Each structure stands twice: as C-alpha cells, then as structure tokens.
C-alpha cells in the first residue's frame, strides 16, 4: 500500500512538472518577448514666459519598449504619452527630462532623446528695409525701370539672435517676357521663428520700350550751415554722373541732375551721406537713383588782417553734359 501511494504521488508531481514545462515552451516559443520602437509625439506642459521664445524642443521622440508578442500586438504610437514639464524658465539654456507613459505590461527600454536641451531668448522687434531683386528679362525692345515697393520697410519680430543679424529683406519680382508694367504682391521671405508686419509688399516694375538716354553730371545741393569755426571744402557725389532716360525733347533741356538737400548743421568732420536724386519732369528713369556724397570740411584758418571768410558755395559745378544717346546708338 505504501509503495502504491508513493507511485501515485510521483505521477502527480511528474504531471505538474510536464505542465509547467509545456507552459514555458508555449510562452517562449508561441508568445516570445521582443522589443519594438515607436515614434511618439512630444507634448509640452507649461508656458514660456512672456517676452521669451524657446528653441530646441523636438516634435517627436523615439520610444523602444519590451513586451510579449501578444502584448505588443495592436499597440500604436498614439497609445504612448511623451511629456516635457517646462516648470519655471529663465533666459538662457536649460535641460528637461522626457517623461514616458507606456501601455500596461510594456517596459520602456530606451527613449531618444531622453533629455531635451532648450534655449530661451528674448523676443525683440525692429524695422528693416525691403529691397527688390528682378528675375528674368522683358521681351525684346522693352526694358525694366527702377522698381517701386510699398511699403519700403517692415517690422520684424523674433529671437534677438536672429533679428540682430537681419539688416534687410529681399523680395523677387519675375518680369520674364513682360511687355507692360509688372504689378505683384509678394510674400516677405523670413527665417523660421520670425514674423513680419506686414508680411506682404506690393511691387511695381515699370516696363517700357527702349528710350534714348543722356549721361548727366550730379550737382550736390546742401542746406543749413556748418559750425562757425568750420568751412566746407567740397561735396563730391559718387558716382559723379547718372544715365537719364527720357524722350529726346526732355533730354535736350537737361544739363544736370540735382540731389535732395543735404543738411550741413553740426558737421565737424568728413562724412559720407546717401542722397536721393530728384527726378525731373518728363524723365522716365535714372540709373542710379541715389548717390553717396562725400562731405569734406576743415577748420577755418584765422587771419587777423583779412575780413571774415564768406560762406563757401554749397553746390558743385557740374561737368559738361553729353548729347542724348539712343539705345541703337549705344549698341
């Protein structure tokens, strides 16, 4: 009887052992442990302080998890949650940890990146000029005149590091095959993270048939007076001549082109000033439309016996003008 009882117990133990081995086999062969990667959208909790902008925050992170085959079946990236808690922020660099919430039963093996390096900068704004670049050529027998842009400057806003590097912005007008004026509204191109007010400008590129032109000297006009102890030596335009496009009857009546008035008040040293050229009536175009003027001054030399020096002339005598030239003559 005792031997039979032991034999029954042995059979029971053997059966349990076989069942455990079968369960282990089925678990590891039929439902093995494996790893899988998911690209998860990164959410941010908290707000960036007013007057600052934040850079360095990725849009997604890669999450590698481990789990049974059955557990991973049907799992999607949307089932995970990736969060960065901002907390208190100040201008400068800072690091934050990426927190991952995974579906039940899955073990997070790796997060890339596990930490994000953030840079917070002051937001500033400034006004910058907008220039026009011309692309293409009009049809044969036509040419493009100086483009007009409205407005000539825009207010840009963004991170101080980027804004400080922007000196001007440029839009491009396409005049390929044009035989009449080209009127376009163009988007102002901006770096990432920068906004503009307004964000569009209107550009008018006059396109006309070839006109005769004449090379005319530039005469510098000044206003105001130098400090009492200084005198004007000369005012030299650069360039000294411009090409003026107009009908022949208009060109024949022109001897020079004058600048807008340049103020002399307060000048005590040689300076370089930019001046716009005044467009005479009937003139279609001038190239260039602006010049740089070198204002040269010096202290007055005291002379006991001589009367006080008179104010020197404020205009420069122009060189003789050339005769009108047509496009065909030029060619």
**For every one of its 331 residues, what pLDDT tens digit does the chain have, with 9 covering 90 and above?**
445 455 666 767 777 777 776 666 665 555 577 889 999 999 999 888 888 888 889 999 999 999 888 888 889 999 999 999 998 888 888 999 999 999 988 999 999 999 999 988 889 999 999 999 999 989 887 878 889 999 999 999 999 989 999 999 999 999 999 999 999 999 999 998 899 999 999 999 988 876 788 999 999 999 999 998 999 999 999 999 999 988 878 888 999 999 999 999 999 999 999 999 999 998 988 888 899 999 999 998 876 555 555 555 555 555 555 666 555 455 4
How far is Cα 51 from Cα 132, in angstroms, rounded to an integer? 32
The dihedral through the CA atoms of 173, 177, 182, 187 has a sign that is: negative
Buried b (16+ CB within 10 A) or exposed e, 273-287: bebebeebeebbbbe
Query: In whole angstroms, what is the distance from residue 206 CA to residue 175 CA?
Result: 10
Element (H, E) at 121: strand 115-135
CA gap 54, 60 in Å, rounded: 16
Give the C-alpha separation, 85 to 96, whole Å: 7
What is the CA angle 12-16-19, rounded to 5?
140
CA distance 203 to 224: 35
User: Could you say which of 3.90.1150.10, 3.50.50.60, 2.170.120.40, 2.70.98.40 is the CATH number of the domain covering 123-209?
Assistant: 2.170.120.40
Distances (CA, A) of 89 to 43, 53, 85, 120, 293: 17, 11, 11, 8, 50
Predicted local distance difference test score (pLDDT) of residue 145: 80
Instruction: Please work out, in degrees rounded to the nearest 5, the angle formed at the alpha carbon of residue 153 by the alpha carbons of 148 and 157.
Output: 150
pTM of the model: 0.47
What is the pLDDT at residue 331? Answer: 45
Could you give the 3-state DSSP secondary structure of residue 227?
A: coil
Q: For position 1, what pLDDT does the model report?
A: 47
Between strands 115-135 and 153-159, the pairing is antiparallel
Question: 213-300+311-324 adopts what CATH topology?
Answer: RNA Polymerase Alpha Subunit; Chain A, domain 2 (2.170.120)
Joined together, the tokens standing for residue 37 give 């990667």
Does the domain at 36-113 match CATH 1.10.10? Answer given as: no
Q: DSSP string spanning 10-70?
A: HHHHHHHHHHHHHHHHIIIIIS-EEEEEEEEEEEEES-PPTTEEEE---SEEEEEEEEEHH
Closest CA to 147 of 127, 167, 130, 166: 130
Residues of the chain with CATH 2.170.120.40: 123-209, 213-300+311-324
* pLDDT value of residue 21: 66
């Amino acid at each position: 009887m005792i031997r039979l009882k032991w034999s029954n117990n042995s059979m029971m133990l053997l059966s349990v052992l076989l069942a455990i081995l079968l369960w282990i086999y089925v678990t590891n062969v039929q439902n093995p442990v494996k790893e899988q990667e998911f690209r998860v959208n990164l959410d941010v909790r908290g707000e960036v302080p007013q007057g600052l902008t934040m850079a360095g925050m990725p849009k997604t992170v890669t999450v590698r998890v481990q789990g049974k085959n059955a557990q991973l079946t049907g799992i999607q990236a949307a089932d995970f949650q990736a969060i960065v808690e901002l907390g208190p922020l100040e201008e400068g660099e800072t690091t934050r940890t990426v927190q991952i919430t995974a579906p039940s039963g899955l073990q997070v093996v790796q997060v890339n990146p596990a930490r994000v390096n953030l840079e917070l900068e002051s937001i500033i704004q400034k006004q910058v000029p907008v220039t026009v670049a011309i692309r293409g050529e009009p049809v044969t027998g036509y040419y493009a005149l100086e483009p007009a842009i409205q407005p000539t400057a825009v207010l840009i806003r963004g991170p101080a590091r980027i804004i400080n590097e922007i000196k001007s912005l440029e839009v491009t007008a396409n005049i390929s095959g044009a035989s009449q004026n080209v009127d376009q509204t163009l988007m102002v191109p901006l770096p990432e993270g920068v906004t503009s007010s307004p964000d569009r400008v209107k550009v008018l590129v006059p396109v006309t048939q070839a006109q005769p032109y004449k090379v005319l000297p530039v005469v510098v006009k000044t206003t105001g007076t130098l400090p009492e102890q200084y005198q004007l030596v000369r005012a030299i335009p650069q360039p000294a001549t411009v090409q003026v496009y107009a009908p022949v009857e208009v060109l024949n009546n022109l001897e020079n082109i004058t600048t807008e008035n340049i103020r002399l008040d307060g000048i005590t040293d040689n300076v370089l000033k930019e001046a716009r050229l005044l467009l005479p009536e009937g003139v279609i175009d001038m190239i260039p439309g602006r010049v740089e003027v070198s204002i040269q001054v010096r202290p007055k030399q005291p002379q006991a016996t001589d009367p006080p020096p008179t104010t020197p002339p404020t205009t420069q005598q122009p060189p003789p003008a050339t005769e009108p030239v047509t496009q065909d003559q030029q060619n």
